[in-house]
Chain A
Amino acid sequence: MPKFIVYFAQLHEDFRLAELNALSKLENVRVEYDPCNYILESPFLVVEISSAEQAAKLVRRAILIRSIIEYWGSGRTYTDVHNEVKQEQERWALYKTCSFKFTVDAFGKSLTQEEKIRVINGFSFLGFEGPIRMRGAEAEFFVCEEHDETREERVWFGRIVGTGSRDLIDRFDVKKRKYLGNTTMDAELSLLMANQAQAQNGMLVYDPFVGTGSFLLTCAHFGACTVGSDIDGRQIRGTAGFKRGVDGIRANLAQYNVESRVIDTAVFDASRNPWRPGPLFDAIVTDPPYGVRAGAKRQGRVGGTKGELSLRLVDGVASYTRPDYYPPTEPYEMSDVIRDLLALAAEKLVVGGRLVYWLPTVAGEYTAQDVPEHPVLRLVANSEQPFGSWSRRLITMEKIKALDLHEPIVPERDPAHKNFRDRYFSKFEPVEL
């Protein structure tokens, strides 16, 4: 198959291949590459795809891919590149008369204008006679030098055939939203999660810890219909915290043109949810509370519920019927949150549906066994965003078969994210056994 160069963004490096694989499946475009050629420190990866049209389709929704380039040549020096390009002269004829443009870039170095012009002139052997257009050129050629102290220099050359959707990052920038809160996930990652979930037209996506609704927006942007719930109604309604008085999650819907697809939000405890039995959702996309900024809680009372308190008469009526009644909550420990989330996904996802969620981990203690398992959920991707003493990992799981009987997850050891909140505030000092 013809070769292409994937030009990645150089950030969230651990997430890039996962997104590429998710898009390959979503867009139904076969992409082949040797994983040994993938270098975290490099923005370039050579892949094989059946055609330029398929290549463009593959990356059109990508958040971590800048563009995809039809491979014409690469090498240590410009001479090497020119020589490789000269081996396929028939190809140049296709671009002899059309309008064209050259983009010269460098990774790990800056090039002066004079240097860039020299580079372009070095390709004059191509013999293009068409007009040069800075905007709207029919053929856009890309040259990039790659410099890195740990590796040999490389020069890349080809024709840009498709671009990703990094422009969405600015459009979904949280600073531009009418409504946000202190747990609102940044735009880049919210959009990435929508790709991991393969959010698309026809799907129903659920967020059980919806907060201020970022994932409802990004999944709806890509065509899915979305619903969300949270134990804290104030975050949904926007009646506490910042940006009060704009009507909460609803305020963002018109701004992003998703009013028809963000279906509903509701207030309830994810671990005691009122969904009717059986599969309902094509994907569950969420950022569960780790107990650091947003205290994870569930319905209940420390020490056990006291039913008599809600039934007690106050001014002649049962306490729980009064408008100011707020049921008690108890802390919801991190490993229980995740275990319940997997059980929820196992029951409520359709077969083939995906669970995409963030798992906090302790650097230095994390092992692969910390990622919870479930008999009907298969691990698809696990990408780390490091913060020094801790990390969070974006986990993608796919439901591979129907849930017959509920098999409880029995961890062999306490995962490092157990009691995450306490560990965070004691700076991850080793736990005494």
Chain B
Amino acid sequence: MRLITHNMLKCHVKNCDNPDKQFPLRFKGAELEQVEAERNDEFLVRMIPRLDWRALLVTTKELGIELPENIPEEPENDDAFLQALHAAILETHVKEGSMVCNGCSHEYKITKGIPNMLLAEHEI
């Protein structure tokens, strides 16, 4: 699972609705893999407003991944920024591990890069 997707997922257990706690999900036991991917600047620039930058900073710090604190004025012209963003959100894969909710402690397991976000019967 790439970090761009993680940046869009929150905990959805019944009654777990504190927005500060249910997102972003905290990684536990994450096994990372960097996989080179073709850079797509048009996509990166278009996604910037849709990313939750605060959450992305929290997550990248947790995992020890470099990411600039601030988004530049003209990201489309900032090659270094785009390269760092690309490496962080599209080339960093979480292969195994789990994502834990800081609110209700539910653990969403990740297996072979695919997160399981199904809820248990009492959480629906």
Interface size class of B (residues with CB under 8 A): 20 to 34
A313 to B71, CA, bound (A): 49
User: Is there contact, CB below 8 Å, between B121 and A328?
Assistant: yes
Q: How far is the CB of A252 from chain B (nearest CB, A)?
A: 15
User: Is there contact, CB below 8 Å, between A276 and B122?
Assistant: no
A309 to B117, CA, bound (A): 19
Q: Which residues of A contact B9 (CB under 8 A)?
A: 266, 274-276
- Kindly identify which residue among A201, A237, A279, A327 contacts B119, using a CB–CB cutoff of 8 Å: A327
Q: Which residues of B contact A225 (CB under 8 A)?
A: 40, 43
- Residue B31 interfacial (CB < 8 Å): no
Instruction: Known A261-B40, A274-B10, A276-B52; judge A267-B116 contact (CB<8 A).
Output: yes
Q: How far is the CB of B31 from chain A (nearest CB, A)?
A: 16
Could you count the A-B residue pairs with CB atoms below 8 Å apart for me: how many are there? 111
Q: Which residue of chain A lies nearest to B10 when distances are taken between CB atoms in the complex? A: A276
- Kindly identify which residue among A247, A266, A272, A320 contacts B121, using a CB–CB cutoff of 8 Å: A320
Q: Which residues of B contact A384 (CB under 8 A)?
A: none
User: Is there contact, CB below 8 Å, between B114 and A263?
Assistant: no
User: Is there contact, CB below 8 Å, between A267 and B118?
Assistant: yes
Q: Which residues of A contact B87 (CB under 8 A)?
A: none
User: Which of B1, B5, B124: most chain A CB closer than 10 A?
Assistant: B124
User: Is there contact, CB below 8 Å, between A308 and B122?
Assistant: yes
Q: Which residues of B contact A320 (CB under 8 A)?
A: 120-122
User: Is there contact, CB below 8 Å, between B121 and A268?
Assistant: no
Instruction: Known A202-B46, A263-B90, A279-B50; judge A269-B118 contact (CB<8 A).
Output: yes
- Kindly identify which residue among A231, A237, A273, A306 contacts B12, using a CB–CB cutoff of 8 Å: A273
Instruction: Known A260-B90, A276-B52; judge A325-B120 contact (CB<8 A).
Output: yes
Q: Which residue of chain A lies nearest to B118 when distances are taken between CB atoms in the complex? A: A327
Q: Which residue of chain A lies nearest to B99 when distances are taken between CB atoms in the complex? A: A274
Q: Which residues of A contact B38 (CB under 8 A)?
A: 260
Q: Mask for B39-66, Cβ within 8 A of A = 1, else 0?
A: 0101101110010100000000000000
- Residue A155 interfacial (CB < 8 Å): no
User: Is there contact, CB below 8 Å, between B12 and A272?
Assistant: yes
Q: How far is the CB of A323 from chain B (nearest CB, A)?
A: 9
Q: Which residues of A contact B47 (CB under 8 A)?
A: 204
User: Is there contact, CB below 8 Å, between B112 and A306?
Assistant: no
- Residue A307 interfacial (CB < 8 Å): yes
A270 to B88, CA, bound (A): 27
| A201-B42, A231-B118 known, 18 other contacts, Cβ within 8 Å | A202-B43, A202-B46, A204-B43, A204-B46, A236-B114, A259-B37, A261-B40, A263-B2, A264-B113, A265-B114, A266-B116, A275-B9, A276-B9, A301-B121, A309-B121, A311-B122, A327-B118, A328-B121
Interface residues of B, Cβ cutoff 8 Å to A: 1-2, 4-5, 8-12, 23, 37-38, 40, 42-43, 45-47, 50, 52, 90, 112-124
Return 14 A-B CB contacts under 8 Å, by A number.
A202-B43, A229-B117, A233-B118, A236-B114, A264-B2, A266-B1, A266-B114, A266-B117, A272-B12, A272-B119, A275-B8, A275-B10, A299-B124, A309-B122
Q: Nearest 7 pairs between A and B by C-beta? A: A307-B122, A320-B120, A268-B117, A310-B121, A202-B42, A260-B37, A310-B120
